[in-house]
Amino acid sequence: MKLKNILSAEHMNNDLSELNVSGLSLDSRKIKKNNLFIALDGHTESGIKYIGEAIHNGANALLLSNENINENIHYPIPVIGVDNIRLELSSIASRFYTNKPNTIVAVTGTNGKTSVVNFIDQIWKKFSRKSASIGTLGNSILSGHNSLTTPDAISLHAQLNLLKDAGVDNVAIEASSHGLDQYRIDNINISAAAFTNMSRDHLDYHKTMEEYFKAKARLFKEILPKDGLVVLGIDTIEKKYLKQITDNNKHNIITIGRSESDLQILQIDNLWRHTALRLRVNNQEIDIKIPLIGEFQIHNALIAAATVTVDKHIGIIESLKTLETLKGVKGRLEFIGSNKYDAGIYVDYAHTPDALEFVLREMRKYTAKKLYLVFGAGGNRDIGKRYLMGQVAENFSDVIIVTDDNPRNEDPLKIRLDILMSTKNAIEIGNRYAAIKTAIDQLEEGDNLLVCGKGHEETMIVNDKTYPFSDHTAILSILS
For residues 22 and 298, what is the distance between their CA atoms, to the nearest angstrom? 46
Mean pLDDT of 370-398: 96
On the CB side of 160, CA atoms within 13 Å amount to: 33
In the predicted model, is pLDDT for residue 202 greater than 80? no
Report the 10 Å Cβ neighbour count for 300: 31
| Residue 11 pLDDT class (50, 70, 90 cuts) | confident
Whether residue 125 sits in one domain with residue 75 = no
Whether residue 392 sits in one domain with residue 257 = no
For residues 447 and 331, what is the distance between their CA atoms, to the nearest angstrom? 20
- Could you tell me the residue range of the domain that residue 164 belongs to? 97-325
In the predicted model, is pLDDT for residue 209 greater than 90? no
419: CATH: 3.90.190.20
Q: Does residue 91 lie within any of the structural domains?
A: no
Q: Does residue 89 lie within any of the structural domains?
A: no
Query: Of 81-95, 197-211, 339-353, 377-391, which range is least confident?
Result: 197-211
Last-in-domain residue among 36, 51, 84: 84
24: CATH: 3.40.1390.10
pLDDT value, residue 122: 97
Whether residue 188 sits in one domain with residue 116 = yes
Q: Does residue 90 lie within any of the structural domains?
A: no
On the CB side of 51, CA atoms within 13 Å amount to: 21
* pLDDT-above-70 percentage for the chain: 98
* pLDDT-above-90 percentage for the chain: 76
Whether residue 418 sits in one domain with residue 397 = yes
Question: Which pTM does this prediction carry?
Answer: 0.82
pLDDT value, residue 198: 83
pLDDT, averaged across the chain: 92
Q: Does residue 68 lie within any of the structural domains?
A: yes
CB 279 within 8 A of CB 320: yes
Whether residue 230 sits in one domain with residue 147 = yes
Q: What is the pLDDT of residues 23-79, one digit of tens each?
A: 999 999 999 999 999 999 876 678 899 999 999 999 999 999 999 888 888 889 999
Whether residue 268 sits in one domain with residue 174 = yes
Burial class from Cβ neighbours inside 10 Å (0-12, 13-18, 19+) for residue 56 reads exposed
Last-in-domain residue among 325, 352, 382: 325
Q: Give, to the nearest 10 degrees, the angle between helix 113-126 and helix 295-307.
A: 50
**Torsion region of 161: left, alpha or beta (phi above 0 gives left; psi -120 to 50 gives alpha):** alpha
Whether residue 260 sits in one domain with residue 131 = yes
Last-in-domain residue among 325, 344, 365: 325
pLDDT value, residue 468: 96
Whether residue 131 sits in one domain with residue 111 = yes
Whether residue 358 sits in one domain with residue 314 = no
Q: Does residue 220 lie within any of the structural domains?
A: yes
Q: Does residue 359 lie within any of the structural domains?
A: yes
What kind and span of H or E run contains 393? helix 384-396
Whether residue 360 sits in one domain with residue 291 = no
Q: What is the pLDDT of residues 396-443, one digit of tens each?
A: 999 999 999 999 999 999 999 999 999 998 999 999 999 999 999 999
Q: Does residue 22 lie within any of the structural domains?
A: yes
Q: Does residue 92 lie within any of the structural domains?
A: no
Whether residue 306 sits in one domain with residue 344 = no
178: CATH: 3.40.1190.10
Q: What share of the chain is helix, strand, coil (3-state, %, to 5)?
A: 35, 25, 40
Domain count, the chain: 3
pLDDT value, residue 147: 58
Whether residue 279 sits in one domain with residue 136 = yes
